[in-house]
Structure 1
């Protein structure tokens, strides 16, 4: 999210999370003030290879409830964050997937992250508007809940619903570019339709 009026419009639909990108190279870079949101909505700061000090500063400044790590953050870095951030801040570690994925790399992150997020590998760290082969997730070996991301639009909803029905630990879906009229500006009609058609 990026624009105050649009943030409030989407917030009225009561999503569980709202994301704010603190990576300056992103067209969705957020450098404003987050308006007051309903208490049920968790504000997520999205970071790419940022320092722990900057993440701590943004969490404090914007009263974030979660951080999403979209770069090459190590297990040690996640451990450091866990130590300096308030204990109730959720840490979401993102992993990029294409046609295959080595799930063994997840194991050391299990103890230092609350959730994983699987996104499509692309030119940018997120927001590429393309899906990956979700069948790869059939080999997911963990019980750690995860966010499903990567080019999800209304046309993918039936496939999303099928994944949710499986025994996989799908916790949430992360939507972005296919619900926008411009980077960081969400199409309220499309988001409303998503909300009406996909209830967890």
Structure 2
């Protein structure tokens, strides 16, 4: 089982770049100083990867760069297929998985699990308590609109003041509408030690920009 880093003990903020699709993306992330590389397994997403492509991409990652698989309500067959072929360090569950299902997936795969929690208003924060005892990490993200097909990666943010000064029993990561221009402010308002970005470092849906990736990481670390 991979050794989990302890993000909140680290002197530097930790950055996750999600939705990588090409070897050039992986190289840009590795060069930027990011700690996590996200691979998406969700057919409706423009960042979706098939398993052979994801395996090849994960093998491009240098030692020390954690590979995170984003999955949405995966069944056991998909979990088995992905984890058997793709060298991974963590699973990110971005659907409606219950705490019990989260614990089952964690036990079945032997991998650390990050649970995404969508936030639109203060009432949504209550769900965090249901997951913080079973997840290894939490992803506090913007809640997608009801008509949205994607559970994340929509380029939307939420009122960061809702979580100002809060902390939870597990390491947590801030996501949702972050860009190189606003990530420092988001960190200042929330106290986040980890941040996650996907669409905010793209030129088009699923098309990453190496310069934006570097700018985002530098802004986050310097914040």
Q: 2:173 matched to 1:173?
A: no
Per the alignment, in what secondary structure is the counterpart of residue 140 of structure 2? strand
Deviation at 1:141, TM superposition (A): 5.8
Given the alignment, which residue of 96, 105, 118 partners 1:81?
105
The count of aligned residue pairs is 194
Higher relative contact order, structure no. (Cα contacts within 8 Å, ≥ 6 residues apart)? 2
Q: Is 1-10 or 186-195 further displaced after alignment?
A: 1-10
Given the alignment, which residue of 70, 91, 98 partners 1:67?
91
Given the alignment, which residue of 141, 144, 154 partners 2:170?
144
Given the alignment, which residue of 91, 96, 119 partners 2:113?
91
Deviation at 1:79, TM superposition (A): 1.3
Distance 2:187 2:130 in 1: 29
Moved segments of 4+, more than 4 Å: none
Q: TM-score, normalised by structure 1?
A: 0.88
Cα distance change of structure 1 residues 36 and 78 upon mapping to structure 2, 3 Å threshold: same
Q: TM-score, normalised by structure 2?
A: 0.79
Cα distance change of structure 1 residues 82 and 6 upon mapping to structure 2, 3 Å threshold: closer
Q: 2:26 matched to 1:26?
A: no
Which residue of the partner structure matches residue 130 of structure 1? 156
Q: Does structure 2 conserve the Cα–Cα contact (< 8 Å) formed by 1:22 and 1:29?
A: yes
Q: What does 1:189-200 correspond to in 2, within 5 Å?
A: 189-199=211-221
Per the alignment, in what secondary structure is the counterpart of residue 154 of structure 1? coil
Deviation at 1:39, TM superposition (A): 0.9
Q: Does structure 1 conserve the Cα–Cα contact (< 8 Å) formed by 2:71 and 2:93?
A: yes
Per the alignment, in what secondary structure is the counterpart of residue 113 of structure 1? coil
Which residue of the partner structure matches residue 11 of structure 2? none
Task: Structure 2 unaligned segments of length 5 or more: list them.
Answer: 1-19
Deviation at 1:103, TM superposition (A): 2.9
Q: 2:34 matched to 1:3?
A: no
Which residue of the partner structure matches residue 15 of structure 1? 34
